[in-house]
Structure 1
Amino acid sequence: MPHVFQEQAMPRHTTATITDVAREAGVALGSVSNAFNHPDKVRPETLKRIREAADRLGYAPNQSARMLAGGRNRLFGLILPNLDHGVSLQIANGANAEARKHGYGLLIATAQTDEDVAHRYRDYFIGTQTAGILMQPPASTDWQPPVHPPRIPLAFLDIQCDVPGHFVAADNFALGELLARHAFKSGARRVAIIGKPSLNRLVLRVKGMKHAFTTESDCAFEVVEEGAWNSAHDGLDLGRQLAERPEDTRPDFIIALTDTLATGVISGVRAAGLRVPGDIRVAGCDGNPLAWTGPVPLTTVAPIGYEIGRRGVRQLIAQIEEGPEDEPENHQELVRPFLLARASTGMNRSDDFADPDIDISGYL
């Protein structure tokens, strides 16, 4: 499992030396050095004996000294705004799995949605000479990458951006198109899209939906710019209001911009005495398993954060292998979404949108 930093991390103090460990384990100094720097070069039984001796003595390698001696840090740092959303948890799991695959460890820091705290963690990772840094910026519409990025491999996650740098995000425009197509292909006649487009990713989802509805269907639709993206209570209120409309103006399909909103909508529609999906079909669109707690299985997109985390690590490794660019360019990767069609829209199967390179079985 990766290590997770909270606001303060206490250093480990020790007076034991590498010589003490060698004496305690009954091995040469070189064997102890290899055990901590190149464990693949040490026989398993010797490695076990050295580690047990180090634990008994309370010894830990001096990372700063190793760097000064020309050693290479095999750790990546990951800075998340919080750990209260499924996407952030998926990013952490995906990044950790990919880092381990390539022989790296992962340190995780949570900034509690405070940009100053995020910057302090970034400076900490730079100061300890980690091999690279992954950052998921706090959710906002005005976020911009640093004008002078640090001279260390760096990738931003869950962000679409067109300036020089490395970025990985879900293709939110395509995500919006995908949900709109699901609505009109399932027979919807009147669709309501609900949620305040307060984040760039939400704006792109709405644009994708509008594009699909206006170019591929004559289905009537409206955009209700109400409801905070992270409020199930707002979803409940909106679901009840829409369900209580006269039948000739009531939507028969509601797309919420997030799964949290959608879960609330289902409760609101049911509270108004209507059935989901019998009277109104409901879909979310951000693949957040933490919101899948309602009475009706929610149609949404497959959780995509795991793949974002994996690709972020690949971008760091590419930067390490290729070195700094003479003229920095934009490197934006977009992860294609695919649908999880479930009972809330009258379906119980996934539509044929799967990316063959993505295996979601490990993080659903």
Structure 2
Amino acid sequence: MSRVRIVDVAREAGVSLGTVSNALNHPERVRPDTRKLIEETIDRLGYLPNQSARLLAGGTNKVLGLVLPCLTHGCSVQIVNGARNEALRHGYDLIVLCANEDAEYEARYLRFLAGMQVAGALVQPVGDVERYEELGLPVHTVYLGVRDVPNDALSVTPDFEAQGSVVAEHVLSHGAQHVAVIGEPDVPMRAQRLEGVRSALAVYEPERVELILEGRSHGSIDGVCLGSMLARRDPAERPDAIIALSDVLATGAIAGVQAAGCSVPDDIMVAGCDGNPLAWTGAVQLTTCSPAGYELGRKGVQLLIRTIEEAEEERAVLHVRSQGALAMQAGHRGRPAAHEVIRPFLLERASTGATPLTGEDFEGFPTGIPEYDVGSFL
């Protein structure tokens, strides 16, 4: 079967070759009805644009890359959806790559995306951001979820410290006097949440604070063991609130407290910190902070496209198409720092005393209440 050529599309659609080229490379230059005709013709004939030839001819690669450390956390799913929806809104496609928590794979994928000449890349780093900046890849890059980045880097990050303080302030305002904080602060985001919790504790000064800095955040079994251990204490030694540095750990803690014969929240309040919808499957609705992943992906793409467009305008003014890659890199290095922060808000639920929702609460609300609809966060 012979390959369909761009000239075949032009002939079939009854337009010039230049019009088809503009529809592919500069759609804003083509009238909507003509663009629709060309798109329908492309679909009917099965035309596959030659990306290499398109780039050599001075076209733009309307593709963004997204490199994530894993796809097993609710935040990762949110980032993908937020980035994809925003990219499509601006006419870009999105390639998603999973580094499986491996910094070497992450660096390889970034080099791969640069070799594909994508318009830009987003990465939630496993490795050292400084290392990637030193690679000098000629592609605009936005770092997601990291606070410490080089001054000239682009980044969007949740306020992890505020996530911890918002949740801690909530349980303390509900009268908690003996607070147990559980979870390993083994990565910067959890360490920052711990700092936020500590800041709130310092203000409210409860009678007793326990820092049990253990418990993996990827499996609920550690939370079950810690929740059960704390609940089986003599009532005089038992905490009246547990704050977990991750929602998975908090959901496990609820199960452990209940297995030990205690009630959540009457005997022990339990709250998470990271807003992970994939962990909201327990018998008691979990109090936590708002999920940040969707906004992380959406704002990351917005920042990336804004930077790409500014660089394109600069190249157009300088008329240096032959040095496009160099101009892109120079623009990447020379621009002012852009670090955006996503502020959290509290999702108060039954695990700290809010009235659980029932089917009657949703009467007259065909799509439910977003805070309690897991799908709305994914």
Q: Distance in 2 between matches of 1:317 and 1:148?
A: 21
Residue 69 of structure 2 corresponds to residue 81 of structure 1: yes
Q: C-alpha separation between the residues in 1 aligned to 2:177 and 2:187? A: 28
Residue 198 of structure 2 is aligned to residue 184 of structure 1: no
Q: State how far apart, in whole Å, the 1-side matches of 2:23 and 2:339 are.
A: 38
Which residue does the alignment assign to 1:276?
Answer: 264
1:228 aligned to which of 191, 206, 216: 216
Q: CA deviation at 1:336?
A: 0.8
Any residues of structure 2 matched to 1:245-264 within 5 Å, and which? 245-264=233-252
Q: Shift of residue 162 of structure 1? A: 4.2
Question: Among the aligned pairs, what percent are the same residue?
Answer: 48
Residue of structure 2 equivalent to 1:7: none
Q: Give 1:152 deviation, angstroms.
A: 1.8
CA distance change for structure 1 residues 37 and 329 in 2, over 3 Å: closer, same or farther? closer
In 1, distance between residues paired with 2:49 and 2:300?
Answer: 28
Distance 1:134 1:326, change over 3 A: closer
Query: Which residue in 1 is equivalent to 2:139?
Result: 152
Does residue 309 of the first structure (1) align with residue 323 of the second (2)? Answer: no
1:336 aligns with 2:350: no
Distance 1:254 1:149, change over 3 A: farther
Do the aligned residues in 2 keep the contact of 1:82 with 1:88 (CA within 8 Å)? Answer: yes
Q: 1:248, CA displacement in angstroms?
A: 1.0
Aligned CA distance change for structure 1 residues 318 and 47 (closer, same or farther; 3 Å): closer
Distance 1:88 1:275, change over 3 A: same
Out of 338-347 and 162-171, give the one that drifted further.
Answer: 162-171
1:97 counterpart residue number: 85
SS of structure 2 residue aligned to 1:121 = helix
* 2-structure distance, mates of 1:326, 1:30: 35
Q: State the shift of 1:327 in Å.
A: 5.1
Q: Distance in 2 between matches of 1:242 and 1:344?
A: 16
Identify unmatched segments of 5+ residues in structure 2: 312-330, 357-369
Match of 2:189 among 179, 193, 201: 201
Query: What is the CA distance between 1:48 and its match in structure 2?
Result: 4.6
Pair 1:34–1:163, CA change in 2 (3 A): closer
CA distance in 2, matches of 1:282, 1:326: 46
Aligned in 2, Cα 1:113/1:262: closer, same or farther, shift over 3 Å? same
Give, in whole Å, the separation in 2 of the partners of 1:230 and 1:203: 16
Checking the alignment, whether the CA contact within 8 Å between 1:193 and 1:257 is kept in structure 2 is yes
One-letter identity of the residue aligned with 1:91 = I
For the aligned residue pairs, the C-alpha RMSD in angstroms reads 2.5
Which residue in the other structure is 2:22 paired with?
Answer: 34
Q: How many residue pairs align between the two structures? A: 341
Question: Would the alpha carbon gap of residues 328 and 50 (structure 1) be closer, same or farther in structure 2, given more than 3 Å must change?
Answer: closer
Deviation for aligned residue 1:321: 4.0
Q: Deviations over 1:301-349 (max 9, x none)?
A: 1111111112212221332244426657653322111100100000249
- TM-score, with length taken from structure 1: 0.86
Q: Which residue is 1:210 aligned to?
A: 198
Q: TM-score, normalised by structure 2?
A: 0.83
